A = this chain, B = another copy of it.
Amino acid sequence: MASPEIDALTQALARLPGLGPRSARRAVLHLLKKREVALTPLLRALEQVNERLSVCSLCGNVDTSDPCAVCSDPRRDDRLLCVVEEVSDLWALDRSRLFPGRFHVLGGRLSALEGVRPEDLSIDRLIARVAGGGIDEVVLAMNATLEGQTTAHYLAERLEGHPVRITQLAHGLPVGGELDYLDEGTLAQALRARRPVA
C-alpha cells in the first residue's frame, strides 16, 4: 500500500549490505519523518558523490577526485607502496592511520575457482608503477586466505628483479581473516611485524 516511490526507496536501501527489508523500512520511515535532518542531507550527499565519483587512475581507489585524496596527500611517503586486494582494504588501512605510504588496489585476488587470472587484476599497472622507480618497499597486504596468499606469492615472483624490498603483512592475521574486519590492534601488529618475502 506504500507508494511505488516509497517502495523503490525501501528496496534500494534493503539491497545495501547490513540492511534487510525490516531495517530498510525503519530507515525509510526515519527519512520520511525527519526530512530536513535525514532525507535532505542523505540526498545531497548522494548527489555530490554521484556527480564526482571516479576511480583513481593511479591507485584504483574510488573517490570524488582523480587522483584520489590518498594519492594527492603530500604528507605520504612515495617510497612505500602497499598493495591491497580491494578498495575496502585500502580504506581499512587508511582509517587505521598506520601506513604512511601509498596504495595500489588490485581489484580482487587470483582465484582458480572464480576464474580470476592475473590479467583480470591491475597487476601490469602495479609492475609499471614499481618499474617507474622511486619506490623502496612494496608491502603485499593481501588477505590471509588461500587466494590472498597465492596472489601475494605470484606478485612477489613478478616483482623479482626490481630494486625494491618486498614485504608482506606478518601472520598475526587470524587464518581466514579479511583486512576490512580486523580491529586496529591486530592491523597494527601485523604491519609492525611485516617481514621480507622469502
Contacts and interface: CB of A to CB of B under 8 A. Distances in A.
With a 10 A CB-CB cut-off, give which of A11, A29, A40, A68 has the most chain B CB atoms: A29
A49 B9 contact: yes
- Please give the count of copies of this chain that the complex contains: 2
A116 interface: no
Dominant secondary structure of chain A at its interface with chain B: helix
Interface residues of A, number: 55
A6 B63 contact: yes
Contact of A87 (B33, B38, B40, B42): B33
Interface string A51-70: 01100000000111100111
Nearest to A10: B45
Contacts of A8: 41, 44-45, 48
With a 10 A CB-CB cut-off, give which of A16, A29, A33, A50 has the most chain B CB atoms: A16
A52 B16 contact: no
A9 B46 contact: yes
Contacts of A26: 17-18, 88, 180
Contact of A42 (B2, B46, B180): B46
A12 interface: yes
Interface string A81-107: 000000110010011000000000000
Interface of A: 1-3, 5-6, 8-9, 11-13, 15-19, 23, 25-27, 29-33, 35, 37-50, 52-53, 62-65, 68-70, 73, 87-88, 91, 94-95, 180
The 6 closest A-B pairs by CB, nearest first: A18-B23, A9-B45, A12-B42, A3-B64, A8-B45, A32-B62
